Amino acid sequence: MTVKQTVEIKNRLGMHARPAMKLFELVQSFESEVMLRNDAGIEAEASSVIALLMLDSPKGQQIEIEATGPDEAQALEAVLNLINSGFDED
């Protein structure tokens, strides 16, 4: 099964190196695969910092998060919490 949810990037600078690294580190603690997709259809595995940076996601952009695996609900919730907190930057 797969769980999905769309969230808005809230931090002032969007997805740059520091938030990408925080997200990468967070998903390492889960067994599930986490994918992000921007509104242009570009996908990135959360297990790749480079892929996350390629999303080119500024503040205000909608990102779909998709988690698949044994702890997918927990992974999705953790990623949503991190993004909704503005990656603890603001």
Residue-wise pLDDT for 34-87, tens only, equals 999 999 999 999 999 999 999 989 999 999 999 999 999 999 999 999 999 999
SS3 category, 80: helix
Segment holding 67, helix H or strand E: strand 62-68
Of 16, 47, 49, 77, catalytic = 16
What is d(CA 32, CA 66) in angstroms, rounded to the nearest whole number? Answer: 10
Q: Which one-letter amino acid corresponds to residue 3?
A: V
pTM of the predicted structure, to 2 decimals:
0.95
Catalytic (active site) residue 16: yes
